[in-house]
Structures are given as structure tokens and as C-alpha cells.
Chains A and B, each alone.
Chain A
Amino acid sequence: MSDDDTFDAGNGLLGRRAFLRAGLAGGAALLTARANATEREPWMRAPGAGMSESGAPSRYEDGLARVAISSQAGTTGSGVSRTPLEHLEGIVTPSRLHFERHHSGIPDIDPARHRLTIHGLVERPLSFSLERLHRYPQVARIQFLECSGNSGGMIAADPPQAGCGAIHGLISTSEWAGVPLAVLLEECGLQASARWAIADGADAAMMSRSIPLAKLLDDAIVALYQNGEPLRPSNGYPMRLFVPGWEGNMCVKWLRTLRVSDVPAMTKDETSRYSDLMADGRARLFTFPMGVKSVITSPSPGLGLGPRGRYRISGISWSGSGRIRRVEVSADGGASWTDAVLDTHVLPKCCTRFQAAWDWNGAPAVIMSRATDEAGDIQPTHAALMAGRAGNTFYHYNAIQAWRVDADGEVHNVHA
């Protein structure tokens, strides 16, 4: 591995061109190392445990949990929990590890009593029980859900030293199944002046957001299932709004009403919270789509390197505008880049896994990833993203993430 042709970019990086070839090296040696004498591990000498009603993680993996859980002072249900991104592979987030952002806890909703009511500028206000919604055609799509405040800690001049999930874990990916809003809205009959719908949740805060009708008619659903099972209470049981690619806050959980309107309601969340203050004192309202973004999940802080040698760089990328077209990686702080390998599933408004191989020479290095989506949008640098923003505006943070690998293999969070 000494000739320079082996590498696709500086400091030992093997991208798309060389990744698969390099990844196969060493297999033959493993095969020939097998011993001839048969033997059994202890767990192969007697029947194992019986069936159970619900699967549980291995007892060796039962520490895998949501991270960086916090709630506002004096509350337990007004805050966030985050997905431990650095311990997951592929693109789907186990439902039990999907991030949470609640405003007044998780309601214990009786599905027999819950209704979704669509009213306002419609010809026929209608109400839908869970039982009735189950009789409608459903669609299932694998898509990400990202809180607009994800990665907000990264606006600090001195970035937080924490795990990847603790920093960036307000994103998760699931297969969401449910009834297209277009079908329900059409059944109600939209009046000519209808432009928005105000969605209310059935939580104690009655969380509400105004959503453009055009988006609801395009690809939004009333989600009933997540990863094949009924929604969990922490994700909106018995039904939630799912608005693909847009701010997670708009995917109102425990969906109770949709009030069709000609104007937005200017709710507390869409004005005082999910708006972006700029340095000149003006603020941007209704910045709905989540920008193109990527992060290397391994190596990452807490998942450092051992001795010098071959390592796999793995990460996730996503865009609220559609598919990921390309992810580039760098092992020399952005001086040179090469294309990472994208996994088979490159789906719109969904996480895409990327990988590359890296021959680490044991010297300090800065590794980075940079995603481009099919709209041609590319991740900005930290400096470019912050330019023009008020210093404490943390929503829609999608800058290039850099990890510094020290000579001892420890990984630290740095601004590139």
C-alpha cells in the first residue's frame, strides 16, 4: 500500500475508486487460518433460550440508548433525547432510539377516543377515527425526520466535545406508513382561498404549526406506523403528521386537528422559535426544508482509533430537497477530497449511508465529509453558514463537520 496510486485523496484516503478493492484484502488469510480440529463454544453445547413475545437487544448491547437527554428546568417532558448515531449502521433508526422533542410530555391517548378533524376552509368538515383511517389506502416510505434545532450546539466558537449523537442526534430515519393527506383533504373539499393548514397536537401544550397546503397535498401523510409497527407514544401514537424533508417540528405528533386557512396562524413555535434571526436584526420566517447535510459517525468522538492502519470511515447524509447525489470525504482537513461510496439505497428525503477506507499513518489528521444533493446544493463551511446570521441563531445548522484525530487515536470536535 505504499504507491500513491492506491489512494484517491491526500493522507491515505481511499474513496469510491479504491474502497471495494481495498476492503477485500485479507480475506484469504482468514480462511487458511482455520484449525482442523472441531470444537464448540459453550453456547453451542445446549439449546438456547426460548421464544418470546418481544425481542430485546443482546445483553452485551443493552447499553445502547438515547443520549444527551435534557428537559427544561422543573420539567421532565419539555426537551429532547437524541439518537446515538455513532453506534448505528445502515440508515434505519430502531424505533426505540428515534430522537424525541416534546413540548409538554408524551400524552397517554386512548385510540378509541382520538379523532383527527379537518375543518376550516373546506366544504365538509370531517372527522376520522383510527379505525376508519385504517380502511384508507396507505403509503410507506423510508424518510428522515430532523429537528430544525439539530446540531445547534455547533454555533459555538468552541464546539462541544461530546459524542456524534449528542451533537447531531436530532435526526432519525424510519419507514413511515400512513394515509396521504391529499386523499383526506380532497374528501373534505378545499375552498378556493385555502392555502395553509394549521396542525394541532393532542399533547398538553397543543403544539401547533402552520403548513402550506401545497406541501400537504404533495407528499405529506397522516402516519400510523413506524418501522412496521403502530407508532410508539413518543412518536405520536395513534397518529402524527409526517411532512417529508421539512422541519421536524412541523410533523406534529398526536395529530388532532387540521384547520384549513388562507393565512398562517403565526403560532408561537413558527414565529418566536423556528425562525432564523440574522445579524442585521431581520429574521427569516418559514424556512421549512432541511438543508443538505452529512456527518461522519465513525470515527467520531468516543469512537477513536487504535494503532495506525486501515480504518473504515462511515457516515450518514441527507437532504430535505431530495436524493443525495454525492458525498466527498477528506482526511487532510479539506485540502483534498474524494468521493465516498454511497450505499445501495439512495432514497429521496432519506438518510444515505456513505463509506470510505482510510490508511491512517498515526499522525494527527482532520477528517470531514461534504454532501451534495440532487438540487445541486452543497454543504457550506461553518464560517460560510454563520456569516450573516445572528450569533445565537442555531436552527438549520448544516455545515461541514470536521473531526480531529490526534496521534493517540482520540477524536475531537473542531470547526474546519
Chain B
Amino acid sequence: MRRRNSKPAAIALGLASLLCAANAGATEAPIPHGTIEIIAQNESIEPGRDFNLGLHFQLEKGWHIYWANPGDSGEPPRVEWNIPTGVTAEEIEWPTPHRLGTSAIVDYGYEDAVTLIVPMRTETILAAQQTAQIGAQVKVLVCREMCIPGKAEVSLTLPIKSQTAAPDSKTAALFAAARKSLPQHAPKNWKFSVDDTISSFVLTGNLGHQTTRAIFFPLNESQIDNAAPQDFAPTAAGFRLTLRKSEQLLKPIARLKGVLRLSDDRAYWIEVPVSKPGAGQSNSGANVRPKHLLEEGKTT
């Protein structure tokens, strides 16, 4: 744990708020081979109403950052918020990742550009203030052939107003694209099951229609072998996907959680109970919220 001297920090904050008040907007900060910017979906904050912020990463061609589960190497971006009392930051809403890497090592992440939406909760006590100074210290690993750790401070000043906040037209396109890239909840009538064979998990999906592709992204590390080819077999009403177990998986798991991307490039959060070897019963996939997954996903 690092100790902080609060005095210089307070002076810096004071200076920053003065400087930021001058242009009353967001700041863009450099990271290795790219930039990061903090953006707001609305022009102001309404006390007591939730709002969305976004961390927008712009990367040079070929460079990437990581998903919540980075895969075989790397690590996800980590954010430390510096926000007024009465505002709390939720977990990052992770867009559907991509498989990156080689035949031996597979990572999960984002190339070129990505916006990570962070929902913020507010309390009515905010009404006593006129502006909210929002800061974020972001640690991010940026990789191509090699990896470079970066640290950036980004901040944003938003007015606090009692009336309904209007969407910011300058950030609308970025938020719309970010929202579109988020995995959806799987439709309730879709049925999933996972069979535990000795070497693999066999994920069966009954979607009520055919699909020509399915790729699974495990939210938790060390469950499946990231680099192993995912053996896809179409069925009349869906698919069967054989996922080789990770060498690091030494105990049985109760559930397989993650993102499923199908042939239409749509992606869905699924959480499927794992049938014990030989049991062979079928269970329906439950709709889940990513943040619950993340909480349960923390392993030592």
C-alpha cells in the first residue's frame, strides 16, 4: 500500500479544477502507443439519477489492451476513481472481446479503439454542489509484439443541475457504438448445458435456430485452454462446442461463465451449470449480469 501526502494532492486538484474550469471539458492523456479520454454521456449530472461515463482508448494500429479475463498473458485496465462524495462508480461494462495472439498463446482484448462504459450512481446530497470534478487514474497494459505498462490521469468537470440531464451530442456516437459492442443477455428460451468430460467441457446450445459459428470467451481464468481450437459442431437447433480444459484447472467447477459470440457477430452473456461427469442432464442457461460474474470470478 502506498501512502499519499494529501497536501500536494489537494493543491494539484485545486490547480486542476481551475485549469479544467477554463475549458470545462474532458482531457485526453497519452498512454503507450495511444491515448485515453474520459467522456460523459450527458452534459450534466442530475443528483439522485445514475449516469454513464466512458473510458475511450485510441490505440495505434496493431496495439491492443485486454478484456476482464486477459487470457494467456496480459492484464485488464484498472481504474482508481477520484470522485465527489455522493458519486459511486460501478464495474466496467466490458464489450465483447476478440481472440488475439498466436496458435500457442491466445489473449482476449481489443485492438485499435474501445470505449469502456462505467455506470455511475449518484445521491441527492450532490445538489449542494455546482460542479463535479471527476478524475480517474488508469493503469493499462498496451501490447503488440511487446507490452508496455502505462499510467494515465484523466479528468472531467460536469455541471450539477436539478433538471433532467441532456445527452451530449459530441459523445453520442461513441456511446452508441460502445453500447452496441456489449454482450446482451441470452434470450430466455435459449437452453444451454455443459457436460464435463475428462479433458473438455462440451457446451451445447439450443437456440431454436441454426448457427454457423460459436466462440466462447471464458470470464474466469484457468478454466479452459485459451489457445486450444474450440471444436464447433452445428446442430439442427444450435451448436455444440468442445472446450479443452485448462491445465491449471485441478478442481471441478460448478458453472461455466462467459461471453458467447455467434455467426451473426452478436454476443451474449451466459452462465451455465456444469453437469457432473456422466450425469448428462440438461440445464437452461441463466441470464446474468456481468458484474455478478466478476465478483464471483475473483479467484486466487
Q: Do A and B bind each other?
A: no
